[in-house]
Amino acid sequence: MEARKLDQDAEIAALKQLNRDYIASAQNSDVRRYLGILAEDFMSTNPDGSLADRTAFLERIARPAAYSNLKAHDVRIRVMGDLGIIHARTTFTKDNGQAGAGWYTDVYARRQGRWLAVAAHYVVR
């Protein structure tokens, strides 16, 4: 029981770090880091309502971000066997200086011992 709790804590810590990397990579247009985070079958629902596969998502990421100070808040991580679900809010500064906010749900799957993002749904206001 204790071992299981420790395992769970380790999985949550791993997902917390991936979430930090995910946010930093969005801010820094870091396609290379995303290549290591996203599963081949990753699908993202974008703020404009489009559903992007991994290639389309990476193309979008490669463009310079039109915002700064992107941060995640109220990060809630749940592990259910080989599935991880992250709910969070974001804040950022738009290029025109206005404050922006958003929220997202990211889904991770553990494959061969490694967590990979399989889906994302994010919204900005």
Partner 1 sequence: MQATTVANNADTDALRKLNDDYIHAVRTSDARRFREILAEDFLNTNPDGSLLDKAGFLEQIARPLALSNFEAHDVRIRVLGDAAIIHGRTSYTKPDGQAASGRYTDIWVRSDGRWLAVAAQVSRG
Binding site for partner 1 (CB under 8 A): 41, 43, 45, 47-49, 51, 74, 76, 78, 80-83, 85, 87, 89, 101-105, 107, 109, 118-119, 121, 123, 125
DSSP string for residues in 61-117: HHSPPSEEEEEEEEEEEEEETTEEEEEEEEEEEETTS-EEEEEEEEEEEEETTEEEE
> Is the CB of 64 or the CB of 113 nearer to partner 1?
113
Pick the closer one to partner 1 by CB: 30 or 103. 103
Q: Tell me which residue of 70, 38, 30 sits closest to 54, measured CA to CA.
A: 38
- Please, which residue, 29 or 122, has the CB nearer to partner 1? 122
The CB-of-112 to partner 1 minimum distance in angstroms stands at 12
